[in-house]
Amino acid sequence: MFEDTRMKAFFDERQLRHAPKTYFRRGAAMPHQEQPQRAEILRDMLIGEGFEITKPGDHGLDPVRAVHNPGYVDFLPTAYERFVESAGTEALAIPTMHPGVRRGKEPKDIHGQLGWWMTDTSTPLTEGTWEAVYWSAQTAISAAEDVLAGARSAYALCRPPGHHAMRDCSNGFCFFNNACVVANQLTSKFGKVALIDVDVHTGNGSLDILYERGDIFFCSLHPDPTTYPTFFLGHADETGEGEGEGKSLNILLEQGASQDDVLAALDKGIGAITDFGAEALVVSLGFDMAADDPLAAVQVYPDGFAEMARRLAAMGLPTVLVQEGGYLGPSLADNAKAFITTFREATT
């Protein structure tokens, strides 16, 4: 069935160039959680476990524009340079004005544009942000192309992550929605694709992008967004519209949920994907499900991540793993090792 059962890992060192120092959370400035060191830890784990790190090819921006507003995509390459020209290098490149409800027109002033295309303070632009965002997307696209060419599975070490990025705006550490880019790429070969999000936070960007699509089933496991970030989207009654009706599934967890609770929710998601008849799978892979993650809300341990990998691999589908969250907690490398090596062993 598969031409190649070896699992490649894709990563580009330019993804480390996005280096935000601070952001505002609950009204206070604090150190930014999404640091380059996250990717370095995951990269070093991969090397230690015998993965050859494959540099992505350059596939351009058309695959990104296929899921994002082209105006948003065109805004990002020069946004930091334009901000510095206006505000200087000491200012934090975050939006300070927002249009509220989505009416009106995009302004021409950089400060107005930041508010138009960026939802919160968690995606500050830095000198290396555009390169990192671009190569994060190319990493995801290259992993998708590997699976399209016949690989059983591929792992995209994407950083910055992507699953909070909506069609026309950044959100929650994310700029381009890498997982949605991958899912859309896979539809060129597979009639039905599923995207399951096992990051602890709602895949709100993916929900936004895929909500009216009938060819991509989306499932997200996360705590109730009424009381846990990213808020707003991810409620149980949000099941899709139009051609996408019934193709979105939000499975809500209690804050503090046990590992067994998470695995039971995963089984529910796998069942729904099987009922959908998916021919290929994308996994938004977040290690912030860990009990000791700095943004922890549930209690998953390395053996739980390994079991998640076994259950997803047992679906037998061509699969792209796309890295999302998982921050600088003590067990980050152990959790990543448990999931990714288990998935590799189960699919070779």
3-class SS of residue 221: strand
Tell me: cis bond preceding 318? Omega within 30 of 0 counts: no
Residue 224 lies in a domain: yes
Q: How far apart are CA 264 and CA 253, in angstroms?
A: 10
pLDDT tier at 232, thresholds 50, 70, 90 = confident
161: domain CATH number?
Answer: 3.40.800.20
32-89 confidence digits (pLDDT tens): 999 999 999 999 999 999 998 999 999 999 999 999 999 999 999 999 999 999 999 9
Percent of the chain with pLDDT over 70: 99
Residue 110: predicted pLDDT: 83
Cite the DSSP H helix spans in 62-212.
62-65, 70-87, 110-117, 129-148, 178-186, 204-210
Grade residue 102 by pLDDT with cuts at 50, 70 and 90: low
At 267, is the secondary structure helix, strand, or coil?
Answer: helix
The answer to whether residue 106 is domain-embedded is: no
pLDDT tier at 3, thresholds 50, 70, 90: confident
Cα separation, 328 vs 326, whole angstroms = 7
- Asked whether residue 123 is assigned to any structural domain, the reply reads no
Residue 282: which of 202, 204, 181 has the closest Cα? 181
Residue 125 falls inside a structural domain: no
For residues 27 and 210, the model is more confident at 210
Q: How many structural domains does the chain have?
A: 1
Does residue 99 fall inside a structural domain? no
pLDDT higher than threshold 90 for residue 1: no
Decide if pLDDT at 105 tops 90. Answer: no
Would 227 be classed as within a structural domain? yes
- Domain of residue 248: give its range: 8-67+131-346
Indicate whether 1 belongs to any domain. Answer: no
Split at pLDDT 50, 70, 90, the class of 129 is very high
Average pLDDT, the chain: 95
Catalytic residues: 164
- 82 in any annotated domain: no
* For residues 293-320, average pLDDT: 97
Whose tokens are 């997803």? That residue is: 312
